[in-house]
Amino acid sequence: MNKWSYSLLAVAAGWLTYRYRYRMADWALRIPPLRKQLVRFALNIPAVRNAVVSQMLR
């Protein structure tokens, strides 16, 4: 029974995260220190960094 409860909880959390993903992203980007960390994390990903740099150098 415990395994089913965790599975159901994980599915519900995943569904809520998917449904409200843009609201959560908007909320997270309103907080300056968190926004700074998210930008640093995103720019550590080579594909994202290359896309951003190519757009800036156009």
Q: Dump pLDDT digits (tens) for 4-50.
A: 999 999 999 999 999 999 999 999 899 999 999 999 999 999 999 99
Alpha-carbon distance 34 to 54, whole Å? 25
pLDDT of residue 20: 96
pLDDT of residue 1: 67
Alpha-carbon distance 31 to 27, whole Å? 7
Q: Which of 50, 54, 36, 18 is nearest to 28 (CA)?
A: 36
Contact 20, 13 (CB under 8 A): no
> Where do the domains of the chain lie?
2-56
pLDDT of residue 58: 82
pTM above 0.75, yes or no: no
Sequence-ordered list of residues with C-beta below 8 angstroms from that of 49, at least 6 positions apart, any chain: 43
Alpha-carbon distance 33 to 35, whole Å? 5
